[in-house]
Amino acid sequence: MFERLRGVLKLDAVVPIVLIAAALLMTLEPTILGVTITERQIVLAFFGFLGIDTLIERTGRLRRIERQLETLTENASGAQNAGQVLRARNSFERMDVLVAQARRSVLIIGVNLEGALGCTATLTTLARSGGTVRLLAMDPDGSALVPSATTSGVDPVLRRGKIVQNLELLRKEFAQLAPDVRARVRLMVSDLALPVGAVGIDEGARGGSLIVQHYLTGTAAELAPLLWLHAESDEPWYGRYLAQCEACVVAARAWNGSGGRS
């Protein structure tokens, strides 16, 4: 209503006219209906006019702010588009760029840890600076390998070979580290059909994040959707996915080579 009134009156255009009229009246001291209008009355009337104009303007601005807040509330409470939640793998930075953001720890869980091979230098830098690195792959000698490969539509023999190859490359890379640094790097395998792959960056800290990928039946990993969860803003889901990752770690063993158990 106030905006309509302001539009009808066109107060922005009227103000200059009022200023000119007020200046003229102050020099003439006119008499209207027998009443003499003094300079003081003219000035007071003018400032009263400006006050009404300001009130209408600010009230209209508050109305606009209220409408914008209502719109934001509706958008926040309404259903979100899947594209705002699920992301494709190619929408993320390279693994070494992601891992370089870590200051305390990195957790990588994957069927064959292919992604970890591309960031070994960054992982060792983190370990040398006092951070911890945890890498978990599927156990190539475990009973879960065959059903997992079958679900993914992959030859179990090929899957096993790829896992062993990557684990050995990682093991030899980390074997070159000083003993105190190597103690902060854990290379593990778990005899589980891993429900998700994950990359945790400072995952146990308040500012941590998790990139999570569900393993889908008959779907290549590069086509499966990912979630990027943050500890500060995505509870309770962040805590639940982190608990899932930690459950996989609890069930794991250190990798000492194929057939070697500890």
Q: pLDDT band at 174, cuts 50/70/90?
A: very high
Domain co-membership, 90 together with 142: yes
Residue 123 belongs to what H/E stretch?
Answer: helix 120-128
Domain co-membership, 89 together with 72: no
CATH number at residue 119: 3.30.870.10
Domain co-membership, 105 together with 234: yes
Q: In this predicted model, what pLDDT tens digit does every residue of 240-261 receive, in sequence order?
A: 999 999 999 998 999 987 655 5
| Residue 78 clears pLDDT 60, i.e. is over it | no
Domain co-membership, 66 together with 166: no
| Residue 8 clears pLDDT 50, i.e. is over it | no
Among 113, 142, 147, 134, residue whose Cα is nearest residue 184? 134
| Average pLDDT along the chain | 79
| Residue 165 clears pLDDT 90, i.e. is over it | yes
Domain co-membership, 52 together with 111: no
Last residue of a domain, one of 58, 77, 96: 77
Lowest-confidence range among 21-25, 55-59, 160-164, 186-190? 21-25
Domain co-membership, 98 together with 66: no
| Residue 133 clears pLDDT 80, i.e. is over it | yes
Report pLDDT for 226: 86
Domain co-membership, 70 together with 93: no
**37, 30 contact by CB (below 8 A):** yes
Does residue 37 lie within any of the structural domains?
yes
What domain range is 176 assigned to? 85-254
Q: How many CB atoms lie under 10 A from the CB of residue 179?
A: 6
3-state secondary structure 42-100: HHHHHHHHHHHHHHHHHHHHHHHHHHHHHHHHHHHHCCCCHHHHCECHHHCCCHHHHHC
Domain co-membership, 44 together with 97: no
Q: How many CB atoms lie under 10 A from the CB of residue 33?
A: 4
Lowest-confidence range among 45-54, 141-150, 212-221? 45-54
Domain co-membership, 92 together with 201: yes
The structural domain count of the chain equals 2
Does residue 260 lie within any of the structural domains?
no
**246, 204 contact by CB (below 8 A):** no
pTM here?
Answer: 0.68
Domain co-membership, 217 together with 101: yes
Q: In this predicted model, what pLDDT tens digit does every residue of 182-235 receive, in sequence order?
A: 999 999 999 998 888 999 999 999 999 999 988 887 777 777 788 899 999 999
